[in-house]
Structure 1
C-alpha cells in the first residue's frame, strides 16, 4: 500500500516524543456495527435487531443485517489492519451470537468464529482488547425486563465467565462494558437507542445494574483467568455551563453527575457521590448492601471514550434534569459535535486527578465527516486528519502533564452501521462501499499508519537505560 504523492504533505504530530515507547496505536470496532450475518452461525436476535427492524427508529430503516460483512471478510480485514501498521485492535464479541438466549452454554459456532478471529490477530502480531458488551443485549433478556432488572447483571456475569473461559487463552485484556451511559440513558431514558424505552426511573435502575454487571463479571473473570487484565470503558464528556449564572452552573453539575460521575464514582471511588444522588434520586432504591464493594473491586486500566465538549444551561421542564445541552463551538462534524481538542486534555487530566492513577487507554476517539471517493479513487478526508492530529496533540499535552496514558484506539477502523443513524454517518479511517463491500483506506488511515511508523522508529532509536 502506497501513499499517493499529493497526500504526503499532511503534517505530523507536534510532540510525538511525548508518547512513551510502549504506547499503543490501535483501531476499534463493535460487533453489531460490522459483522452482519445476523441470521447465520446460530446467532440470536439482540435488542438492536429488534430496534432496527422497527419502522421509523433508524435512518432509512437501516439495519445491521449485513453491515460490513465482517463475519465473512474477517481475514482480509485483519490483513488490512496489519497493512495499516497497527499492533493493537479493540473489538467486541456479540453476546447474542455467543449466547443467543442470554443464558446457558455458549454457541459453539460463535466460539469457533471468535477463536479464528483472535488467532488471526495473533498470527499477524496484533494484540486484541476484547469488549464483552457493546450494546447487543440478547432479546430474550430484554423480554424479561432488560437492564432495569437486577437479574440481567447476573446473566451478564455468567456470560462473561463462559466467554473468557472459552477465549481467554487467545486474549489477555478485556473490557467488561462499553459506555454504559448509552445503554442506560439512551436505551431506557430517551429511547434514542435500543431497546427504545422512555422511562427515566428504569434508566436510572439500568445504570446501577450495568455498574453491578461490571463488578459481578470482574469477580468471575478473576476466578477463571487470574492473569487477565480487565477494565471498563466509559464515555467521558467535557461538561461546561453555558454561562456563569448559578442556575447554569448547577445544571452542568447535574449533567456531569448523570453522565460521567454515575459511572466513574462507583468504579474508582467506591461510592455514588452526593451530586449523583441529588441528580438521580431514584438510584437509592436499587442499591443493595455489598453492591458498591463489588463494583469498586480493583481493575487494571481505565478505558476512556471521548467525543465532545458540551455546554449546558438550566431550563425548567426540559427533560428529567431540567437542562438543555448544546455542542461547544465549532460544531463541525457531520453529527454536529464540537471539535475541541483541549477537551480531551481536560478529560484525561480530570480522570487521572479525581478518579484513578491506573494506566488510561483512550478506547474510542473519532469523528464523522461527509466522506466520498473522488474521481481519482481517493478518499481525501483532510478534516479527519486534522481531527486526529489535534486530539493526539491534546493527548500529548496530557501525557506531559503527568497522565499515564498508554494507548489510543481510533474510532473506527471501518465505516459501519452507526446505530440509530444507520449508514448515514461515516467514522471510519477506511471507507466502505456498502454495495460492493470494497474497502478503501482514507487519507486518515495513511496518515495514522505514518504516525505509527514514526513512533516506532522513535522508539527503536531510544537508547535502553538500566
Structure 2
C-alpha cells in the first residue's frame, strides 16, 4: 500500500505579523503606525489592549528563532513594520529599524529557516495615514519606495516576498465596516482603497523585477460562499458574496478586470478607474498565498451592504472562538477552485489555524485537542488538493504564538505556543508537538 505523505520539497512553516507580536512600536527611532494610534481610541479594542508589548518579539527574537527551529519547520513567515523603516512613511530611512530585520533574517538563516517576508500586513505609517493612506493615489509610489529599500537590504538573503497580506480585510474592515483603521464606512472610499492597494502591489512587483532573483507574490483570504438554500435569491447572494470577497482582488490581478458583479453592488459608489491602471495591477507575480479559516453559508438580505449576503450559522457544525465554522473540506475546494479559474499558479497556504479556549496548563503543556483536530483535518484537505493536481508548495500554521489579535485584543488565542503576557513565558501546546511530528514525517502521521 502506498504511504500517504507530502512531497519532499514541500515547505513547512509558521506565521506571524509585526504589530501582533513585536511590541516596542516606537523603539530605536521607529514612527507610529495607524494601528498604534487606532488602539488608543476609546472602545476600539475589546479588552482595551494594544501592541505596545504584545509578545515582546522585538527584544526576544533570538530566543523565538530557537523555538521556531525546535518545531522543525523550514520557513518562517513574518511581516515588516513599515514605520520602523520609514518613520514618516517616506523620506529618510531609519537604519536601526532596518538593522532589526537584518538580524532577524541572519538568525533564521543560521538555523536553516527560510525567511518568508511580507511587506504589508495591515499596519501603515501614521504619517501616511494622515495624508490619506491608501485613498491617496501616491500610495503606490510610497509603497514602491519602501519595497525597493527592503529589496536592496535583504534580497541577497530573502528568497520569498509578499506584497500585501489580505488587502480585502484592509478595505472591508477599514472602509466598509469601519472597525479597523481608519474606522470609516464609505463604499466609494472602499473601492478606491482596493484599487490603490492593487496598484501598490504592481509597483512593488516592478521594483522587485529590477533584480531577477527570488519570488514575489501576494496573499489573499478566501472562503467558499455557499447558498443557505436552493432559493434563487440565496444563490444570487452567495455569488455576490463570492465576487465581493474572493474575486475582488484576484480577478484584476490574474484576469485583468474587476468581477462584473461589483459595479452593480456598489452602484454610484463605484468609481471610474483609469484604464491604464490595469496594466500595472496585472504585473506578473510568482505565487499566490491563501489564508483559509472557514466557509460562509449565506442567505439573501438586502440590508447587508454591499453584497446582500447574510451568513447563516449551521446547527450541526463546530465553531471556533471567532465564530467561524470548522469546515476543512472548504480548503480543498478553495485550492481546486483557484486552479480551475486561474490556472496552474504556484500556491502556498500562508495562514491556517484556529482560536479556541485552551485548557489550563498541565505539567508544562497545554493540551489543545480542538486545535490539533482542526489542523489535522485541514492538512488532510491540503494533501487531497495536491493529489488532485493543485500546485501547492507549502503550508504555514497561524499562528506561532498567542498574540495581539487586532480588535479582539488578547481575548483570542491562535498560537501553537502559548504566551503568558504578564511574564512572556512561552509554553508549547499539544498542537506544537503535533505539528512538529507532521513536519518530521512529511504528513504521514495524518493518515495513521
TM-score, normalised to structure 1, is 0.92
Cα 1:392–1:457 change in 2 (3 A) is closer
| Map of 1:248 onto structure 2 | 234
2:363 aligns to what SS in structure 1?
A: coil
Deviation readout 1:363-399 (Å, 9 max, x if unpaired) = 0011000114334232000001000100000111111
Q: CA deviation at 1:228?
A: 2.4
59-68 vs 371-380, which moves further: 371-380
| Map of 1:266 onto structure 2 | 252
| Map of 1:148 onto structure 2 | 135
| Map of 1:446 onto structure 2 | 433
Distance 1:27 1:116 in 2: 19
Contact 1:131 1:178 in 2 (8 A): yes
**Partner residue of 1:324 out of 310, 318, 342:** 310
**Partner residue of 1:212 out of 177, 199, 215:** 199
Cα 1:335–1:244 change in 2 (3 A) is same
Matches within 5 A, 1:19-168: 19-168=6-155
2:340 aligns to what SS in structure 1?
A: helix
231-240 vs 285-294, which moves further: 285-294
- Where structure 2 has 5 or more consecutive residues not aligned to the other structure, the ranges are none
Q: Say what the alpha-carbon RMSD is for the aligned residues.
A: 1.8
Instruction: Please list every run of at least 4 consecutive aligned residues from structure 1 whose deviation after the TM superposition is greater than 6 angstroms.
Output: none
| Map of 1:226 onto structure 2 | 212
Contact 2:3 2:444 in 1 (8 A): no
Q: CA deviation at 1:284?
A: 5.3
2:311 aligns to what SS in structure 1?
A: strand
Q: CA deviation at 1:313?
A: 1.2
Deviation readout 1:407-457 (Å, 9 max, x if unpaired) = 000000011000000000000000000000000110000010011111299
1:385 aligns with 2:372: yes
Distance 1:452 1:433 in 2: 26
Q: CA deviation at 1:326?
A: 3.4
Contact 1:372 1:379 in 2 (8 A): yes
| Map of 1:189 onto structure 2 | 176
Deviation readout 1:270-305 (Å, 9 max, x if unpaired) = 211312333344675252122111111211111111
Matches within 5 A, 1:277-316: 277-281=263-267, 285-316=271-302
1:41 aligns to what SS in structure 2?
A: helix
Q: CA deviation at 1:319?
A: 2.7
Q: CA deviation at 1:49?
A: 0.8
Contact 2:174 2:183 in 1 (8 A): yes
Distance 1:155 1:16 in 2: 50
Q: CA deviation at 1:327?
A: 4.8
Contact 2:358 2:366 in 1 (8 A): yes
2:28 aligns to what SS in structure 1?
A: coil
1:231 aligns to what SS in structure 2?
A: strand
- What is the total number of aligned residue pairs between the two structures? 444
Q: CA deviation at 1:54?
A: 0.7
| Map of 1:335 onto structure 2 | 322
Distance 1:273 1:419 in 2: 30
| Map of 1:171 onto structure 2 | 158
| Map of 1:235 onto structure 2 | 221
Contact 1:28 1:89 in 2 (8 A): yes
Contact 2:173 2:180 in 1 (8 A): yes
| Map of 2:381 onto structure 1 | 394
2:134 aligns to what SS in structure 1?
A: coil
- Where structure 1 has 5 or more consecutive residues not aligned to the other structure, the ranges are 1-14, 459-466
Deviation readout 1:43-95 (Å, 9 max, x if unpaired) = 11111111111110001211000000000000000001001111111010111
Distance 2:408 2:3 in 1: 35
Distance 1:283 1:65 in 2: 37
| Map of 1:369 onto structure 2 | 356
Contact 1:147 1:184 in 2 (8 A): no
Distance 2:185 2:411 in 1: 24
TM-score, normalised to structure 2, is 0.96
Distance 1:415 1:375 in 2: 17
Cα 1:295–1:120 change in 2 (3 A) is same
Contact 1:309 1:327 in 2 (8 A): no
